[in-house]
Structure 1
Amino acid sequence: MFKDLYSIITFVISGAICVGLIFLLYDKYLNTLGFEENLKKLTGIYIGVSGFLSAILMVFLATSAMNQKSYKAKIIHKISKTTQKMHNFRTISEILFNSDIWLPGLKDYMEKDYSNLSYFDVKEFYKGKSKLAIEFLQETHHFGETENLYMELKSLLMTDPKEKQIPETINYPVFYNNNIIEKWVEHKCGSGLWYVFGYKFGNYKESLNLDAVFERHREKILTLANTIDNDVFEKSSFNEVFFSKLWEYLTKDVIPKLSQFQSHIDRKTPRLIYYLYIVFLLLIVFGVLVPITYLMLNFSVLAVIVSYSIVISTIFYVAITFHIFLSKEVNR
């Protein structure tokens, strides 16, 4: 807040300096013999200095743009790898979601009575946005407390937090929507599954029948897990220990990285770049183009007086505020 106020005050002072210089120089022009000739002599040096500073800024801006492009390319490469891992996790989730590991009647119960309820609605029941979520939490369920696991698994198949129904064909986007990533992170999707398979599976053996997964689906799940991270899942067997590691990996590694890389790729161009571009533009227009036009076409001396004043006040503003913009970028 203080820094913003400081910048505004400096801008006002710079504006006052600009206006003051215009009046001062114009008064000098009216009352001093030969003043215009002196201005013309200085204009060549003035153009040279402005052009030199503009060239430095142009090189800096071009280099910054290339660096940003290179940085984004690296992030895109990283996020693509992590996105593919998320695709594999969601394929595993889809297999389990559509399998017969659930108690008989659970799917019908959830899709009939709570088809318009999502895992996120339940986790955010305290916001009071979903009466169905409150009703669900107050209801006495009869499926070994696997209803939440069912919804958690379902949430991993979503690509938008507003979705209520899972499409027949699961969507695997090039990049996941920020909104769904934020929800996965906020509600630690996968952690409930990790907790059950890692610490409470003894209580769920009668409710989650891993033996009901077809052999070909087991092989596919293990293959996908090895694709995700061969070092972690290489010697895994299809059991609760494997699923504990799997959901832990999702919770601790894949979703956080997905969020991290996504935030990097969505970063806006630094304000410092815009700041320097405006300075560059002012130098080019009022430090080079206007003075050259004045010399070539014999414009009114007022034009070059205005350009001198704007450039001098701009340099003053930069000298006073540059460290603020620099510190903001360092602390981003």
Structure 2
Amino acid sequence: MRAGFTLAATVDDAGAGVVAVEVRGGDDAGPVLGQALLPEPLHGGSVAVPVLSLDEGPVALVVRAIDAAGRVGTATRELFVDATAPSVTPLPAAGSTLGASLAFTLYLNDGGAPWVAGADLEATLATLAATRAAANYTSFTATAAPGRISVSLDEERNGGIDFRLRPMDALGNTGPQLTIRYVVDRRAPRVTYRSPGDGGTGVSPATTIQIGFDEPMDSASLSAALRVTADGAAVPGGVSWDAAARLLRFTPAYVLDPLAAVTVTLLHTATDLAGNPMASDEVFSFQIDTYRFRDVAAEVGLAGYRGGTGESGEDHGPGGTFADLTGDGYPDLVLGTDQN
């Protein structure tokens, strides 16, 4: 029963005739919720009594028929009041991007209480319409199942689509029209930056590998898809994702060997935030420099080495300089290829 309604009462009075019918809440002494005054005594028939708005939930009503002599006949009725339209929860959330799966679901909830009539899925489905670029969009299929409406798109053109619907329940309670916007993205992400560059030589043995993209990526898929090898052996290391710069960084767990041939492979299973995978694997290679180095911080007093201070960039013989290659905060002695 809806909150404001009309109650039909059937009366039968062989005597003076019914002149009024009223509806009270709870019992004979309860508040008057509705009343119908008849223009002339009625000996039998139906009387329509408009009832005021009621709170949602179960309610006990007493119907009182009053005849011209003031005699009263009563009847009781238990009703359930449902005055709220169903709520709608879209999944994925409104504003999301539809990518690999061109589908979404609208979940309708009519409260879950025992007196609730339940969502009218077919009536709600009949109100579903869509617009793309200010024009009607009909390239979608929608089906109703218990508690939900499933929608799938029949085409893959990129761009925004606005879906509109008006939720209804079985009693005709109707909510305001909702607009739910989705953005379709079926384009594969692309690599726009590599460091070190493909085919590079003389790369620092303490290099950090970086890969840039043309759109935001799913960081978990990047970590799972990245492979780094040096002379064919897997290189362990740490992976980080800079969302603002759209940059994947890989820092090897150790300094790479001189002249090592490094290959970086990012499998096509890496996806963007819409779930679109890359069109193909991304592979590039580079070679580590010929310099060798030795971390002498724990072995010698740097200030006493050839009279120097051990500062980064200081010259110490043929091809020898200090530089913090390991990132541990201590200068490392870099020797030329003719040093041991």
**Same fold per superposition (TM over 0.5):** no
TM-score range, shorter chain: under 0.3
TM-score (norm: length of structure 2):
0.20
Name the structure where strand makes up a greater proportion of residues. Answer: 2
Name the structure where helix makes up a greater proportion of residues. Answer: 1
Larger relative contact order (C-alpha < 8 A, sep ≥ 6)?
1
Structure ID, larger Rg = 2
